[in-house]
Structure 1
Amino acid sequence: MPVTVLCDERCHLGEGPAYDAASDTAWWFDIIERRLFEARLGTGEIVVHALPLMASALATVDDGRQMLATEQGLMLRDIATGALEMLAPVEAATPATRSNDARVHPSGTFWFSTMGRQAEPGAGTIYAYRAGTVQALFPGITIPNAICFSADGATGYFADTAANALYRVRLDPATGLPLEAPAVIHRHRDEGGLDGAVVDAEGLLWCAIWGGARLNAYSPEGDPVRSVAVPARQASCPVFVGPAFDRVLVTSAWQHMDEADRAADPHHGKTFLLDIGARGRAEPRARLGAM
């Protein structure tokens, strides 16, 4: 399987990759070091933006703005200037938590999560931002990850990495909000834990396996379908990129690795492009205000 190192700059905690097809630009975060990476795939140029606070994921709003999930809540970012504007405070008065995973539902509703900074049990919550309002969907999760959606918007997925449980929930396609309680469809029992995920054009869910140096693909029912290697042990999150959405960008991290661990994992913290023989689809844009 062809693998390319997209970025040699090592991320302490690389996470939250996103792809804007209109500009052929990929984005991802180093949460701990408060950095936002911008990769212009057509030219190979990579720009690293310093941030004034921890942020973990973003969604494109329009050609000039992004919505960022941060430790203070949701913020709007001006792409040209980098200026940040508070959109909706979330757990801003709770210093023990920070933002984590996120993805946009086909309706434009933005799902994002929080978690304890030390992964305190049950400290995380998955939220939805819709029509200018933040709504808590699923509280009491330790490490909420793998947020992603079916193409028709009728199904949502997420994981609790600490429990190694993958959940599926039926959604209202028009709103991206749950219609029932989530159900466990898979429990990961091999090495590593379920981390970030994305759904491909065929409906398979591709999930990074933190500590397992892999991407695993699951059917909508949670059955394992494929597994491909990633050149870093702590693979963290995938997203499909490119004009044909035929490559996968995968972030990684060296968080909690000592010197010996890093020496044994020479590509730790780098960001990769993989040709896995699958195609994705364009990520929806997040919608502001009335919907």
Structure 2
Amino acid sequence: MAVRGRKEKPIDRDESPWHAFVDDLRKLRGEETTLADIGAKIGYSASYLSRMLNPGNDNITERFVRAYAEACGADPDEWARRRREALGEPEPPEPPTVPRPRLSPEETADTLEPLPIKPRVSQRRVAIIASAVGGVLAVLAGTVVTTMLGGPDRPPNVVITPTDECRSSWAGTSQKSVLVMPCIKHDDHGIAIYAKIKSIKRGGRAEEVTVWLWLMKHDRHLVERHAAHLTRNEASLRRCRIRLANADQIATCGPFIVPPPAEKGVYTTSSSVRSLDATYPPGWNDPTFTGTQGGLLTWTPTRS
């Protein structure tokens, strides 16, 4: 197998389990796929990958192995396990088993990022046709104020119930020095999704991260059944490459206008943040992957 025309030095598999593992990791991409192809998916150059896939390198992290395996179409968990075996590292401890709480309609499943619990409102809802500038929505005396959208620049026959636009607080990400706050709002042309990104890094170089956003139906039953992939709208998937300096710098990814869903329900913006760059966020093909959610928006298409 070649790296831009240069042959890789063969690995003596019998020298150690680590040598055999790195050799298998090299071969994982197959004969037709180059390191440049893999690098384009995970945000590294072919020369960097060539240096990483060297048995003399003892700094092949689990994070790198997972990203590389996923880019090759393999199971990241399986290759993370093989890495630990080759290094003689112990298996991570199993998380303690706790009883699943009984969830109320305002709560999310434990696999979802926590969202603020909404106060209960009276079943008596009053629909008001709002004409305020900007389509301002309000909640008055526990009554949900609903706006009927119309006009040449707005999707016809749609009812939107207002909720919190953004997540109530910053959420941690896989990048320990970066926090995220996903948001969702209605727009003249549909639904807008965006996310605020905050650096909490106090020293060193500025950090580059990729932020993925997508429209997600907030359906706790699908998540509980490990079918979160059915909540995701792939056509709404967007991403940004953002460079963050230190000292609490805040940047915004979006807003992106996405087509309004045809199905009635509660929707949110889901997000993922990583240092690598790829078309899809790591875990996208995992039916349990939910990302980090933001505010909620109730969307109800109505009949013509």
More helix by share: 2
**Bigger fraction of residues in strand:** 1
Query: What's the TM-score once normalised by structure 2's chain length?
Result: 0.27
Larger radius of gyration: 2
TM-score, with length taken from structure 1: 0.28
